[in-house]
């Protein structure tokens, strides 16, 4: 009997290219617009924030983009990452479903984020940039960029969302260990931060505010650029290394997924796993349902409007066409900090509008219950973000139990939760409250959408 648990690829199977799904879509996603003129922004408008190589990757329609050897060399520290068959979870659930998870918690930061942090640091260093600024929500992205900057000799300055800064001192220490400087956001170091503090001195912060602060600082310093850990096309491009490996690993397992499930904050781990399978689907080689899972308290795909909006709270970024709750929406300080973003990646939003993916929203108590259940059978404590994907995976497996179908479910376990244990502590103590987001709150949040496009 085959009782394989881990499907492992050798380093010789490390992908040589990233996969660009735009090449295979019937239409490209709508372009970013200049906030003043509402015309598509040219490369020169993005140049103060990003190096040319990344701006080119942002707009390319080339199907495969080569991964530089220096980046593949760093990837070898933890890639290819393992694909697991969750045999113990299947048994615990008594389900006929086959559950697989692609595990990104083996990276130095403990999540998928280094997959893009490393190339971003590499391209910036190659173009002579000496410092990167960024935001971090859960602390995963900040840790990943701090790690990548340490490898390529860049300074790294990070604005960590206040709620996370207070809840996760160990994330800050990790970023500092890699050599980064960390500020709580909103901070009094930027105009955007000071404006928020003046009206909301106790603001828990948000990814949108922290992005404003990091963008403002990078734009003011000619030697500095800004790095974003999700949302943009080039970030999703880098993350497709996950799905390309998983396609090969599912082949090793001799199965094709019927359902692919991932959590979505800005959409990068989900797109990274799903897009290479979408390519297989479009080529007629398999036919998986692809499903995004977002938090009920920040439901950009399921409740947001598909409209042009700012990527940040202060309105400093170009306008992006995306599912958004409004750039000044400040989500509840839920524990899945990585999912507290008002918008969804334009590429994921576009693919959703094309009807190629589905989306559901989950309350955090169901998600933590799934995380605990997973930990008690598979032995990995998941980060709070992928517990959303696990909650839907378990629900799908239970539907299989009811229907008797032996579906093949593939999910993204995009990070471990070893630095998120205080949130598990609160869940186990019965202290986590689910706040249902009212229709009025959603409508009010979307009143300030910039009219465009």
Ligand X SMILES: *Cc1c(COP(=O)(O)O)cnc(C)c1O
Among 32, 114, 186, 266, binds ligand X (CB under 6 A): 266
Closest to 86 in 3D by CA, of 157, 160, 5: 5
Q: Does 423 bind ligand X (CB under 6 A)?
A: no
How far does Cα 120 stand from its chain's mean position?
15
Which range touches ligand X (CB under 6 A), out of 116-124, 138-146, 164-172, 183-191? 138-146
411 binds ligand X (CB under 6 A): no
Q: Give the residue, chosen from 81, 160, 264, 313, that forms a contact with ligand X under the rule CB under 6 A.
A: 264
Closest listed residue to residue 21, CA positions, set 64, 58, 57, 55: 64
Count of positions on this chain that bind ligand X (CB under 6 A) = 22
Tell whether residue 140 is a contact of ligand X (CB under 6 A). Answer: yes
| DSSP 8-class letter at 41 | P
Q: Which is nearer to ligand X, 391 or 400 (CB)?
A: 391
Asked if residues 237 and 20 have their Cβ atoms less than 8 Å apart, the reply is yes
CA–CA separation, 207 and 65 (whole Å): 29
CA distance 364 to 372: 12
Smallest separation, CB 383 to ligand X (Å): 4
The reply to whether 415 sits near ligand X by the rule CB under 6 A is: yes
Closer of 257 and 417 to ligand X (Cβ): 417
| Residue closer to ligand X, measured from CB, 266 or 288 | 266
Asked if residue 184 lies in contact with residue 162, where contact means CB atoms within 8 angstroms, the answer is: yes
Tell me: does residue 427 bind ligand X (CB under 6 A): no
How is 248-265 classified by DSSP, letter by letter? HHHHHHT---SEEEEE-S
Site of tokens 């942002």? 58
Nearer to ligand X, 121 or 138 (CB): 138
111 binds ligand X (CB under 6 A): yes
Q: Which of residues 281-340 bind ligand X (CB under 6 A)?
A: 338-339
Asked if 141 is part of the footprint of ligand X (rule: CB under 6 A), the reply reads yes
Question: Does 114 engage in binding with ligand X (CB under 6 A)?
Answer: no
221-250 residues in contact with ligand X (CB under 6 A) are: 229-230
For residue 112, what are the contacts with CB-CB under 8 A and spacing of at least 6?
104, 239, 242, 268, 269, 272, 412, 414, 415
Q: Is 208 in the site for ligand X (CB under 6 A)?
A: no
3-class SS at 32?
coil
Which residues here bind ligand X, judged by CB under 6 A? 111, 113, 138, 140-141, 229-230, 263-270, 338-339, 383, 385-386, 414-415
């Amino acid at each position: 009997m085959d009782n394989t648990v881990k499907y492992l690829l050798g380093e010789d199977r490390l992908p040589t290219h990233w996969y660009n799904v735009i090449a295979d879509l019937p239409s490209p996603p709508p372009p970013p617009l200049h906030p003043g003129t509402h015309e598509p922004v040219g490369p020169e408008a993005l140049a103060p924030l990003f190096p040319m190589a990344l701006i080119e990757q942002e707009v390319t329609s080339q199907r495969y983009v080569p991964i530089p050897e220096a980046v593949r060399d760093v990837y070898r520290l933890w890639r290819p990452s393992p694909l697991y068959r969750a045999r113990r979870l299947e048994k615990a659930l008594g389900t006929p479903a086959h559950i697989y998870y692609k595990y990104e918690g083996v990276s130095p930061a403990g999540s998928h984020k280094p997959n893009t942090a490393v190339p971003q640091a590499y391209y910036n260093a190659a173009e002579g940039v000496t410092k990167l600024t960024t935001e971090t929500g859960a602390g995963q992205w900040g840790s990943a960029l701090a790690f990548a900057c340490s490898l390529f000799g860049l300074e790294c300055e990070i604005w960590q969302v206040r709620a996370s800064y207070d809840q996760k001192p160990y994330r800050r220490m990790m970023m500092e260990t890699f050599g980064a400087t960390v500020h709580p956001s909103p901070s009094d170091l930027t105009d955007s931060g000071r404006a928020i503090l003046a009206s909301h001195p106790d603001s828990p912060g948000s990814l949108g505010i922290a992005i404003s602060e990091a963008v403002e600082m990078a734009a003011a310093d000619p030697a500095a650029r800004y790095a974003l850990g999700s949302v943009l096309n080039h970030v999703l491009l880098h993350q497709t290394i996950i799905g390309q490996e998983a396609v090969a690993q599912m082949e090793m397992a001799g199965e094709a997924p019927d359902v692919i499930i991932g959590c979505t904050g800005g959409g990068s781990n989900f797109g990274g796993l799903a897009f290479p399978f979408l390519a297989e689907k479009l080529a007629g080689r398999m036919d998986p349902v692809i499903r995004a899972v977002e938090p009920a308290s920040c439901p950009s795909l399921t409740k947001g409007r598909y409209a042009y909006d700012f990527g940040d709270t202060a309105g400093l970024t170009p306008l992006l066409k995306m599912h958004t709750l409004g750039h000044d929406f400040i989500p509840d300080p839920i524990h899945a900090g990585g999912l507290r973003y008002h918008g969804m990646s334009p590429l994921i939003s576009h693919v959703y509008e094309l009807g190629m993916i589905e989306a559901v929203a989950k309350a955090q108590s169901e998600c933590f219950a799934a995380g605990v259940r997973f930990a008690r059978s598979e032995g990995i404590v998941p980060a709070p973000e992928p517990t959303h994907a696990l909650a839907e995976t378990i629900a799908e497996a239970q539907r299989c139990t009811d229907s008797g179908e032996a579906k093949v479910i593939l999910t993204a376990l995009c990070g471990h939760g070893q630095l998120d244990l205080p949130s598990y502590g609160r869940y186990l103590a019965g202290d986590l409250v689910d706040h249902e987001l009212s229709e009025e709150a959603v409508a009010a949040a979307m009143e300030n959408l910039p009219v465009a496009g």
